Chain A
Amino acid sequence: MKILVPVKRVIDYNVKVRVRPDGTGVETANVKMSMNPFDEIAVEEAVRLKEKGIATEVIAVSCGGAACQETLRTALALGADRAILVQTDVELQPLAVAKLLRAVVQKELPQLVLLGKQAIDDDANQTGQMLAALLDWPQATFASRVDVAGATATVKREVDGGLETVEVALPAVVTTDLRLNEPRYATLPNIMKAKKKPLDTLVPGTLGVDVAPRLVTVKVTEPAKRKGGGRVADVKELVAKLRSEAKILP
């Protein structure tokens, strides 16, 4: 069974993002970029399924500019077998990415697409579900456990009330939550090996996909600053202030 793992290049999660003074977006120049952490979990899960003998091949795919090759090399260093870059400099929104991925799926015919539940830049939480809908495949989102047996994946999902188990018939789309696994670190030998693994480049035009954005970003602004930093000396003062000043407690 082939597994396709879409990965996104995003601003590293440790970076404190800054809004550009002209309000057109956030500052990305000279900012550390990394693989979206949820996608890293997806790569790890796919590689583990291969190590268990369930998957035969793990293909990483990324959509975006040439720099996404770096993200794909990271996926290869973590254990993916080969990579596909769908290269475009157009701003890609989730629907466009889902359409590109559908085209890749139709070429590669994987039984499972494993990807992060959301990217930590646009926080959209859409691509996996959209891809599943476009393919008319079942989906299992927010996975904290994935078991594949025969033609079925059994997935524990993190939902608002606790955990829900769903069984999906393969082929299916599964999106990963934080606690699915702890991704390994790429070792130096594996980073070297990754440089030799195949990385193919496609363009949206040859896949027949219109990637024009549907949403126009009018402006990007900083959130309202919260005035914090107040201190109290002890429990008595805290309770007194919550009663008289904040009027939260009776």
Chain B
Amino acid sequence: MSILVIAEHDNASLKSATLHAVTAARKLGDDIQVLVAGGDAGAAVAAAAAVAGVGRVLRVDADHLRQPTAENVAAATLAVVARGGYTHVLAPATSFGKNVAPRIAARLDVAQISDITGIEAPDTFVRPIYAGNAFATVRSMDPIKVITVRTTAFDAAPATGGSAAIEDIPAGPEIRTSKVTGQEFSKSERPELTSARIVVSGGRGMGSGENFRLLEALADKLNAAIGASRAAVDAGYVPNDYQVGQTGKIVAPDLYVAVGISGAIQHLAGMKDSKVIVAINKDAEAPIFQIADYGLVGDLFEIIPALTRELSA
């Protein structure tokens, strides 16, 4: 019996989210197979084959999978699953995995278990509900379990040390009812938000997008990623991919610095598993202080430059 992990990649490399899904898969069984559906994705295939614990990489390479739609990735996955022998199909709970996995589950006529944070048995999983204000332990009665994995709840599998066999699987016909026609991706030299060791996040209290430069200077000193609350994204201070929270990104860095963020439960849902939380806010009553290890009440426009200077000293 095998566990299938759907790789998230950009053809040239494997996204780190995939490594976390592999770790979850290893808790379920020993025969881990990773599906790389892409176009000219040789580098991503090689990266997947090198991941420790991966037994086999299934390569589906076709031009229409270069910038794949959910429809085409789901079709490629279903063709693999149809070969039989799979007990679980896993994908990271990223915008990629969330988009694709339910299509696969529905076609297999099985439930999907979303965003798991724990595995109690091969059929029993823990997952957050109500923005992480409760955790449900659920048991699946379906023959195949389709799962998305919360990446912060499982360590990354080592990217090297494996030497998986690579198997080519023919791509099916292209599904043409949808196509990707454009991408506007934020370019940044900074660490990626969901995998950074330190995250500095700004909220409505930042007052403007320009003021986020203060956080950039601090983030430079800390080699940190920059995040934001929904309020800051809605106000247009920063792009949507900065958003941390129930419906944005889930992060759990070693250090999370919340600046001018009041701490709505929807935001806390995205960051409260951080190891150490620092809150900087002028409102001493802000709920963020209730979960912060180190709260500093005061004017962020004085504190952030002072903090940046102190770290340079």
Report yes or no: A158 in contact with B99, Cβ–Cβ below 8 A: no
Contacts of B301 in A (CB 8 A): none
Contact of A89 with B by CB under 8 A: no
Contacts of A26 in B (CB 8 A): 129-130, 134
Chain B nearest CB from A63 CB (Å) reads 16
Contact of A168 with B by CB under 8 A: yes
Report yes or no: A230 in contact with B293, Cβ–Cβ below 8 A: yes
Interchain CB contact (< 8 A) of A137 among B111, B177, B275, B276: B177
Contacts of A214 in B (CB 8 A): 110-111, 140-142
**Which one of A45-53, A74-82, A91-99, A201-209 is at the B interface?**
A91-99
Contacts of A144 in B (CB 8 A): 240
Report yes or no: B138 in contact with A238, Cβ–Cβ below 8 A: no
Grouping DSSP codes into helix (H, G, I), strand (E, B) and loop, the B interface class, with mixed when no group exceeds half, is mixed
Report yes or no: B138 in contact with A126, Cβ–Cβ below 8 A: no
What 1/0 mask marks residues of chain B from 266 to 292 whose CB sits below 8 Å from any chain A CB? Answer: 100000100111100000000001111
Report yes or no: B139 in contact with A167, Cβ–Cβ below 8 A: no
Contacts of A132 in B (CB 8 A): 103
Contact of B2 with A by CB under 8 A: no
Chain A nearest CB from B177 CB (Å) reads 4
Report yes or no: A215 in contact with B141, Cβ–Cβ below 8 A: yes
Chain B nearest CB from A153 CB (Å) reads 9
Contacts of A129 in B (CB 8 A): 70, 98-103, 106
Contact of A11 with B by CB under 8 A: yes
Interchain CB contact (< 8 A) of A168 among B99, B100, B178: B178
Interchain CB contact (< 8 A) of A215 among B113, B128, B297: B113
Contact of A216 with B by CB under 8 A: yes
Contacts of B111 in A (CB 8 A): 93-95, 214-215
**Which one of B37-45, B50-58, B160-168, B182-190 is at the A interface?**
B182-190
Contacts of B303 in A (CB 8 A): 235
Contact of A154 with B by CB under 8 A: yes
- Bound-state CA distance A122–B112 (Å) is 12
What 1/0 mask marks residues of chain B from 126 to 150 whose CB sits below 8 Å from any chain A CB? Answer: 0011111111111111100000000
Contact of A150 with B by CB under 8 A: no
Assess A134 versus B181: contact at CB under 8 Å? Given A178-B230, A226-B272: no
- Bound-state CA distance A128–B112 (Å) is 13
Assess A117 versus B94: contact at CB under 8 Å? Given A164-B183, A232-B294: no
What 1/0 mask marks residues of chain A from 160 to 171 whose CB sits below 8 Å from any chain B CB? Answer: 111111111100
Chain A interface size, under 10 / 10 to 19 / 20 to 34 / 35 or more? 35 or more
Chain A nearest CB from B137 CB (Å) reads 4
Contact of B69 with A by CB under 8 A: yes
Report yes or no: A232 in contact with B296, Cβ–Cβ below 8 A: yes
> Which residues from 240 to 263 on chain B have a C-beta closer than 8 Å to any C-beta of chain A?
240-241, 246-247, 249, 254-255
Chain B nearest CB from A154 CB (Å) reads 7
Q: Which of B106, B266, B272: most chain A CB closer than 10 A?
A: B106
Contacts of A218 in B (CB 8 A): 124, 137-139
Report yes or no: B134 in contact with A168, Cβ–Cβ below 8 A: no
Contacts of B94 in A (CB 8 A): 160
- Bound-state CA distance A125–B101 (Å) is 10
Report yes or no: A178 in contact with B183, Cβ–Cβ below 8 A: no
Assess A179 versus B276: contact at CB under 8 Å? Given A126-B105, A223-B132: no
Contacts of B99 in A (CB 8 A): 129, 139, 141-142
Report yes or no: B102 in contact with A217, Cβ–Cβ below 8 A: no
Contacts of B102 in A (CB 8 A): 94, 125-130, 133
What 1/0 mask marks residues of chain A from 108 to 121 whose CB sits below 8 Å from any chain B CB? Answer: 00000000011011
- Bound-state CA distance A26–B71 (Å) is 35
Contact of A222 with B by CB under 8 A: yes
Contact of B83 with A by CB under 8 A: no
Contacts of A220 in B (CB 8 A): 129, 134-137
Contact of B311 with A by CB under 8 A: yes
Chain A nearest CB from B68 CB (Å) reads 11
Report yes or no: B107 in contact with A241, Cβ–Cβ below 8 A: no
Pick the 8 closest A-B CB pairs, nearest first. Answer: A129-B102, A138-B178, A165-B182, A214-B111, A130-B106, A133-B106, A228-B291, A126-B102
Could you list 24 A-B pairs, sorted by A, with CB under 8 Å? A13-B266, A95-B106, A95-B109, A125-B102, A129-B99, A130-B112, A138-B175, A139-B99, A144-B240, A160-B194, A163-B240, A167-B178, A172-B177, A178-B230, A179-B234, A215-B111, A215-B113, A221-B134, A228-B277, A228-B289, A231-B294, A235-B310, A241-B294, A242-B294
Can you name 17 extra interface pairs (CB under 8 A) apart from A217-B137, A232-B296? A95-B112, A139-B99, A160-B95, A163-B183, A163-B184, A165-B183, A166-B181, A214-B110, A215-B111, A215-B113, A216-B141, A220-B134, A222-B134, A228-B292, A231-B294, A232-B294, A235-B296
- On A, residues with C-beta under 8 Å from B are 11, 13, 16-17, 19, 26, 38, 93-95, 98, 117-118, 120-134, 137-142, 144, 154, 157-169, 172, 177-179, 214-223, 226, 228-236, 238-239, 241-242, 246, 248-249
